Structure 1
Amino acid sequence: MEKRPLPKSFLAAPIAHRGLHDVGAGVPENSLASFGAAIERGYGIELDLQCSQDGVAMVFHDYDLARLTSETGPLAMRTAAELGQIALTGGEEGIPTLAETLALVAGRVPLLIEIKDQDGALGPNVGTLEAATVQALQGYHGDVALMSFNPHSVAALAQLAPHLPRGLTTCNYLPEDWPTIPKARLAELVPIPDFTRTGASFISHQASDLGSTSVLTLKAEATPVLCWTIRSEVEEKAARRVADNVTFEGYLPA
């Protein structure tokens, strides 16, 4: 499958994890305010997408609303209009759509977009969120790259938008970190076996596992390696021994 190269902008400035957020300062994660703050400092932006009940790509990390809002229950059971009226805890904004985010960013910094698994077991029951993402991106002219832990999602993106760069979000897949996923499926994913078949052009890997054989093999093949999530200059220095760029939060990289 043909791959699209990762734009060089993703290897330049560090990438703000869920935007440059600081809830204590009234700037929640994955909020328009956090994206504006990242733009002001010239950082790239990483964000997460979930799917609303009516099939709209929403910028939100969790499957449930409880951690990040005063509401509870699955995000997927609310419409985009309803979600837009739910304030993010610590801020004054509602949950933004991808379209609203794209209008704000307007190509000023690169956007690293993670599509959260909608299958529930990193399996093939995907497509709605991927289609909604590609629809929102129509006509967008800034640098953007799409990624997911679910290889089926990345393969779907290859079919829906072969012109967009895509990658795999990866980690060591420890069962204690993925209690709802069958252990056999986790073991399958450890060696990153889907990189070629999905037409991926980069990975974004767990920082503490950058020394794994699968990562170093891809690195030796000149594959761009991003990593998550760096929280200090010390961690950044260690990660950059392997990683070409870092996704960060909680401090301001140089």
Structure 2
Amino acid sequence: MSELRIYAHRGASGYSLENTWNAFRKAGESGVGIELDLQITKDGVVIVFHDDNLKRLSGKNLKIDEAEYSLMKELKIGKRWHRRFWHDSIPLGYEVIQWAKDKKVPLNIELKSSFMKHSDGPRIIASMLEGAEDFHVSSFHPELLRNMKALLPEAEMALILKKRIPLEMLEGMHWVDSIHLHKRIYSKRFLEALHGMEKTVRVYGFRGREAAMKKLAPELKGIITDYPHRVTKKLRPPSKG
């Protein structure tokens, strides 16, 4: 499993508030890659945020793709977590990407639904990624990945799956280089089929305590997890002393 790479989901979100600088720095300290979610505002500003609406973490009922960045620039986000309240601001996409470039942190960049509604979104992201070396772009939206592949033909494009879809559909998506599976659909047979298509396979949703962690399939190339420290420790070979 020497080629297996760990990515911290939304940063080390099992330990810090998701998609914040605290979560990214915590992940960076553990020497793993980082998965982050990018959204784009109505006026073309790329922010790091998972939901299409700001309400869950800010209390403000505001759809990102319908609002300008000025309405969220000073907004604080947070939630109660382990008896304390996290209170942070929303990072800008280009700042996090530049930080990762400087620190040489591998990135799994997930593009969310707002990019489907902004015609310049793919071009803006492609420009931000100029000079980046160790990254791939992921999304639930195959057509968005197709647009990104046209702009970044050498970059890896990863389709995210929550449920199985017919293999024939995946075979027809020649622009999709890799598949990110939820742990619910992780199985040896499915991985073997995807491997036969020469698609890189990663799994997300593992917390480090699943039975499947004891014997991972050799076709698996990555794990995306909220708990990178725990998963890394679980995969470490036992000491011989």
SS at 2:50's partner residue?
Answer: coil
Q: Corresponding residue for 2:136? A: 145
Q: Percent identity?
A: 22
The CA deviation at 1:51 is 1.3
Partner of 1:77: 66
TM-score, with structure 1 as normaliser? 0.76
SS at match of 1:146: strand
| Residue equivalent to 2:220 | 243
Post-superposition shift, 1:80? Answer: 2.7
Q: How many residues align?
A: 222
1:200 to 163, 169, 176: 176
Give me the whole-angstrom Cα distance separating, in 2, the residues matched to 1:37 and 1:208.
Answer: 27
Residues 161 and 182, structure 2, Cα contact 8 Å, conserved in 1:
yes
**CA–CA separation in structure 2 for the residues paired with 1:238 and 1:131:** 42
- Rg bigger for which structure? 2
* TM-score normalised over the length of structure 2: 0.80
Instruction: Answer whether contact 1:60 1:95 (CA < 8 A) is retained.
Output: yes
* SS of 2:113 mapped into structure 1: coil
Alignment deviations for residues 6-36 of structure 1 (CA, whole Å, 9 cap, x no partner): xxx9x5441111001246xxx3101122111
SS at match of 2:76: coil
What is the distance in 2 between the residues matched to 1:171 and 1:215? 14
After superposition, what is the alpha-carbon deviation per residue over 1:125-144, rounded to whole angstroms, capped at 9, x for unaligned?
66433222112212x33411
Cα distance in structure 1, aligned partners of 2:208 and 2:71 = 37
* Structure 2, unaligned runs of 5 or more: 79-84, 234-241
- Aligned partners of 1:104 and 1:193: how far apart in 2? 36
Secondary structure in 2 aligned to 1:230? coil
Root-mean-square deviation (CA, aligned residues, Å) is 2.7
Instruction: Report what 2:96 is aligned to.
Output: 101
* Counterpart position of 1:161: 152
More strand by share: 2
Amino acid at match of 1:84: K
Q: Does 1:112 align with 2:108?
A: yes
Q: Deviations over 1:220-248 (max 9, x none)?
A: 34422101111133256168235322111
